[in-house]
Structure 1
């Protein structure tokens, strides 16, 4: 029995699902062309995924089924942090008028788990399930600051330090210096490091063994995130929310 991973058929099936997500649905011929495989093979994959209820067929068009919503919801609900943190995120958005976010780390990337939009929040690309390099966000940096250095090094070895804007940290030395500051300060800044013109303040949610299990943040335009609001008011709100979540996680 072979121990080789990943199993090719499973990998291809997931790639087809991702393709359908990106295209918003596709016909057999389109999948075959995009995946560079015979039409008959593409048809077999699509029919199997349909029979297992992961896809639906409308006419000649295959689309992702609502089963993924169910799976995604179950995965999210399994994370206790989501249930406990959601009210705090909603309150942060209401108090600040900006975007408030919850992020976890998964496979070395930051995953937005939940986002609430305040009354004056600008339009952003973030959404639940979105994955980003950890070092490009205050959320990611706040979590890395409370993880063992060897774990952070392994993440950087695996994913690198992609430059997203002119302000993105791309030096390991600079990153680890900043992680030291974050531990001392208690919260992290993102000054146009993922989105030009946007600033973000995040605090980690600390679980057992002083390890960050998630992070909460508030992000807004640089024009509004200035002076005391950026250095005192919003950091205090974010730290308070993170603390409430930690207590609720301990006793819920």
Structure 2
């Protein structure tokens, strides 16, 4: 295969995945709406969409296309292949039941945080996050818990690649300030998210560290600022999370 043919194949693959990403961002779209996002003719784009529909990756309803559930099958397979998910999911669910709040399990992949598992306690608030969602690491307690235990060179690579966009007025957008925060997280053993990604929402997160001192992910408890005050926010929940993380870490080592 010539270099030109290889280049065309790579471009085709990237276009295919970009189409899926755009459909996800838009929820649904017509061919005409999609042509505004791509430097492709309407007929070329229609060929891409028809192929994806035939293979089951997207669904057509009338003139509108949307992402299909076949992608959920792929995502579910990827999640179950993660050993941490199988070990931590029951502990994260039990933590939600005990606290009554929203609990999360997050891992880093390609420089972003991916939610592997979420559980809702009796009083849990609803947020915009969902299993499989990719989020920035600099503006979440979960992300900070992970970044604090990565080599500084790797953290810089992540920030160079994804930047530090602001989600709220409390988001840290300066690298030097973030590094100061990460040093404190590493020292304290937990991270506090004080409305840094979602206004009105606080979060306490701790890392999951394996026997080789490598961070495998992080767990958290999230809730409204009104319920995450003083001792509960800065003492009770951090201690509870560290106890759960310790159990998960032991199970990683000896399971």
Q: TM-score, normalised by structure 1?
A: 0.92
Task: Please identify, of 167-176 and 80-89, the stretch whose mean Cα deviation from structure 2 is larger.
Answer: 167-176
Matched, 1:153 2:153: no
Alpha-carbon distance in structure 2 between the residues aligned to 1:170 and 1:60: 42
Matched, 1:66 2:69: yes
The match for 1:183 among 183, 186, 189 is: 186
The match for 1:215 among 196, 199, 218 is: 218
Alpha-carbon distance in structure 1 between the residues aligned to 2:37 and 2:176: 41
Report deviation, 1:103. Answer: 0.6
Where in structure 2 are the equivalents of 1:220-239 lying within 5 Å?
Answer: 220-239=223-242
Report deviation, 1:234. Answer: 0.6
Report deviation, 1:45. Answer: 0.7
Task: Please identify, of 32-41 and 187-196, the stretch whose mean Cα deviation from structure 2 is larger.
Answer: 32-41
Matched, 1:80 2:83: yes
Matched, 1:15 2:18: yes
The match for 1:169 among 161, 167, 172 is: 172
Where in structure 2 are the equivalents of 1:37-186 lying within 5 Å?
Answer: 37-186=40-189
Write the deviation string for residues 53-83 of structure 1: whole angstroms up to 9, x where unpaired.
2223344443322211110100111111111
In structure 2, stretches of 5+ residues that fail to align are none
Report deviation, 1:119. Answer: 1.1
In structure 1, stretches of 5+ residues that fail to align are none
Are residues 19 and 154 of structure 1, via their aligned partners in 2, closer, same or farther at CA, if it must alter by over 3 Å? Answer: closer
Task: Please identify, of 136-145 and 20-29, the stretch whose mean Cα deviation from structure 2 is larger.
Answer: 20-29
Task: Please identify, of 59-68 and 152-161, the stretch whose mean Cα deviation from structure 2 is larger.
Answer: 59-68
Write the deviation string for residues 24-60 of structure 1: whole angstroms up to 9, x where unpaired.
4333333334435322111211122123222233444
Report deviation, 1:116. Answer: 0.9
- Matched residue count: 252
Report deviation, 1:160. Answer: 1.7
Report deviation, 1:6. Answer: 8.7
Q: TM-score, normalised by structure 2?
A: 0.91
Are residues 195 and 64 of structure 1, via their aligned partners in 2, closer, same or farther at CA, if it must alter by over 3 Å? Answer: closer
Are residues 25 and 197 of structure 1, via their aligned partners in 2, closer, same or farther at CA, if it must alter by over 3 Å? Answer: closer
Q: 2:107, 2:216 within 8 Å by CA — same for their partners in 1?
A: yes
Alpha-carbon distance in structure 2 between the residues aligned to 1:8 and 1:29: 21
Alpha-carbon distance in structure 2 between the residues aligned to 1:6 and 1:153: 31
Two-structure CA RMSD over aligned residues (Å): 1.9
Task: Please identify, of 68-77 and 30-39, the stretch whose mean Cα deviation from structure 2 is larger.
Answer: 30-39
Write the deviation string for residues 95-149 of structure 1: whole angstroms up to 9, x where unpaired.
1111101111111111122111111122211111222211101111111111111
